Amino acid sequence: MLPVLCGAVIFMTTDLNAQNNSQDSCNAIEVIEYSQGMNSSGNTISADRSDVNAALNTPDKSNAAGGFYSLGINGSITLGLGGAVYNEPGADIAIYETSFSGDDCGHSDDENALVEVSQDGSTWLRYGTVCRDGLVDLDGLNLDYVTQIRITDMTTGSGDGYDLDGIEAVNECKEIPTVCYGAAAIDYIPGLDVTGAPFNVAERMDTNKALGEPEMDETNNFLSLGYGGEVTITFDGVVHNNAGADIKVVETTFGYDSFTSYPESADVYVSQNGIDFYYIGAVLTAEAADLDISNAPIALTYISEVKIVDTTPSDSESSDGFDLDGVVALTGCNEPIDPTPAGCYPVGYFNYVEGTTKNGGVIDAIRTETPENTLGVPEQTDEYVFTSLGYGGEITLTFGGAVYNQDGPDLVVIETTFQNTWGCDTYKEFADIYVSADDINYHYAGTVCKSDNAIDISDAGDFDFIYYVKVVNNNELSSTEDAYDLDGVIAVGTCESFNYATYAQAHYNALSVESPSAEEIGFRTYPNPTNGTSYIEFTPKVTGDVLIEVFDINGRNIGQVFNEEAYPGKMYTAEFNTNNLSAGLYIYKVTTGNSSITKKFILTK
């Protein structure tokens, strides 16, 4: 058969009967709507040609009597396909027609039909006209897939109009994706107008106009970014990275149809955690750009946010840069995918950089030749089962899964100080901790020493989880010969056998040194450990000024809790709210006259 597509973009000469016979077919399975016309004589079409169900399922692919539905002159039928027929190279849909006079077009009894296709049943795109059998190639229609097809008779000769035998997808049908749209706009930063002044046109700065289904018309229903401006769009769920395009970004430009005639453009970035963004492509004037998450420089199984950043050329005549009509999640909005949780300890390391001694010398090999000492269970002994970072040294650890960000401490970093009981006070070895979800972007989470060794991932950003921990010697705070000695790291949230509160108390007890007893001179603090408000209580024996201050383990003054004259025999209670502090060890310093004492307390979360 030689199908003829009058007015279509391409003409094909494929033998349809030879196509797809060896594969499982994907056909029309539902009659959505139909309107049968009359025959050319103005009479009702006979009953044996009027069963709409004859157009469903596998076509006969023959010109035998029966097994087809006659549209009638100017009649039409809308059919639902058995899934999503995607736009792939070459023909995508085959339409079979029955003609007793043969298969060749170009005769007086030719039967023709207009073909339209739709992705959602509401927006229809005209493909073109088929004569007898025909092939439909979705290329050029700006659709990733279709789910419905409408066939309208355009026969001009005699007879019962176009006789539809059936529809068949050249390639298999796939599951129909459930699209969703941007649900919220955050971090909108308007850029400049064409004069270089801050963009400030209220009717074009409503972020709600960039949400929901894009209008894809020239109404004033879009968000202008301005030159260099940006906005981030979030969804009601996450967008999975499937085969092909995953995101569609739609731009509106009044009366212009190309970047050449009216340049407006934007770069598009995606993020899984709202912190780290990756470039996946660009969108230009009057374009509905289909973008693939797989274009990101790392493997992302899903994303939760899309950032659009204006890149309109400075010499453009555009008054306000890129106009965002909306963002479509082509693969739908889905429940987040929980990554495989990590265990208790690191299982691998990389990027180990051996530093130097304080004076620039080489560190003893027994301290550096086995960086694998940082893996597995920390020994917490003073044996040579650690790795010295040295000045300028660092190491990155992986946990074989995701370290979850929970309330309170998420990581405990174990350091070795060879019987020096207060690492932060008397044996200064410090390391900076960075965390990452992608091994590209690292975020500072805090500084640790032996006695202050808990890290809250939230201090690095609003992460749900991270995969990598980088430990970098702090060259300014460290002062020992070989700097920070890393024994290991514990992932608190995913280590079921580890109880941080129990550990913190034991750690405090092990590191405590003899100091004047606060109780002997009337001072006590409770509860200890605490996870909320801490109290310090005292009853002076003499009248005098009392100053109570709070310090962290690094000697930073956190604040005052009491500073006034106190009288003997009266009980005083000072309160200290710890809600804004990270878990760790803190110190009360109580000064009376010319003397002072300290009282330590532990904050857990």
pLDDT for 16 beyond 70: no
Structural domain ending residue among the three candidates 329, 362, 388: 329
| Encoded tokens for 388 | 């010295």
Both 321 and 368 in one domain: the answer is: no
Quickly state the pLDDT bin for 136 (edges 50, 70, 90): very high
Burial of 83 (0-12, 13-18, 19+ CB in 10 A): middle
Report the greatest alpha carbon distance in the chain. 120
3-state class (DSSP) for residue 48: helix
pLDDT band at 2 (very low <50, low <70, confident <90, very high): very low
Percent over 90 (pLDDT), the chain = 60
Which of 329, 356, 375 is the C-terminal boundary of a domain? 329
Instruction: Find the mean pLDDT for residues 163-184.
Output: 89
- Please tell me whether residues 382 and 418 are part of one structural domain: yes
6 pLDDT higher than 80: no
Cβ within 8 Å of residue 499, ≥6 positions away: none
User: Above 60 in pLDDT, residue 321?
Assistant: yes
pLDDT band at 552 (very low <50, low <70, confident <90, very high): confident
Higher pLDDT, 217 or 467: 467
How far apart are the C-alpha atoms of 92 and 58, rounded to whole Å?
A: 16
> Does residue 206 sit in the same domain as residue 282?
yes
Which is nearest to 328 in space by CA: 184, 182, 120, 121? 182
Instruction: Please give the average per-residue pLDDT across 288-307, as a whole number.
Output: 93
Q: What is the pLDDT of residue 61?
A: 87
Domain termination site, one of 277, 301, 329: 329
Mean pLDDT of the chain: 87
At 9, the pLDDT band (50, 70, 90 cuts) reads: very low
Looking at residue 4, its pLDDT comes to 35
Supply the pLDDT for residue 542.
66
Binned at pLDDT 50, 70 and 90, residue 358 comes out as very high
- Please tell me the total count of domains within the chain: 4
Based on the fold, state whether residues 88 and 134 are members of the same structural domain.
Answer: yes
Where in the sequence is the domain holding 209, given as residue range(s)?
A: 180-329
Please determine, for residue 119, whether its predicted confidence score (pLDDT) is greater than 90. Answer: no
d(CA 277, CA 307): 8
Q: Please check whether residues 304 and 357 belong to one and the same domain.
A: no
Of 518 and 360, more confident = 360
What local confidence, expressed as pLDDT, does residue 425 receive?
65
pLDDT band at 276 (very low <50, low <70, confident <90, very high): very high
Is the residue at 110 inside a domain? Answer: yes
Mean pLDDT of 385-400: 95
- Say if 63 falls within a structural domain: yes
d(CA 353, CA 376): 20
Structure token digits, residue 186 = 């955050």
Is residue 415 a part of any domain in this protein?
Answer: yes
Out of 175-179, 434-438, 464-468, least confident range:
175-179
* Higher per-residue confidence, 528 vs 417: 528
pLDDT of residue 473: 97
Residues 289 and 317 in one domain: yes
pLDDT of residue 422: 53
Residue 385: closest CA among 418, 433, 342: 418
Lowest-confidence pick of 97-111, 146-160, 256-270:
97-111
Residues 275, 135 share a domain: no
Predicted pLDDT of residue 269: 98
Q: What is the pLDDT at residue 418? A: 62
Mean pLDDT of 326-341: 88
The pTM score is 0.59
Residue 88 sits in the same domain as residue 212 = no
CATH number of the domain at 585, please. Answer: 2.60.40.1930
The predicted pLDDT at position 593 comes to: 65
- What is the predicted pLDDT for the residue at 600? 84
pLDDT tens per residue, range 405-417 = 998 899 999 988 7
The reported pLDDT for the residue numbered 342 is: 94
Q: With 60 as the cut, is the pLDDT of residue 3 above it?
A: no
CATH number at residue 390: 2.60.120
Question: Does 308 score more than 60 pLDDT?
Answer: yes
Average pLDDT of 496-503? 85
- Say if residue 191's pLDDT is above 70: yes
Residue 4: C-alpha distances to residues 11, 505, 534 (Å)? 6, 83, 85
Strands (E) located in 454-538 = 454-455, 465-473, 485-491, 523-526, 533-538
Banded model confidence at residue 256, pLDDT cuts 50, 70, 90 = low
Which DSSP letter does residue 506 get? H
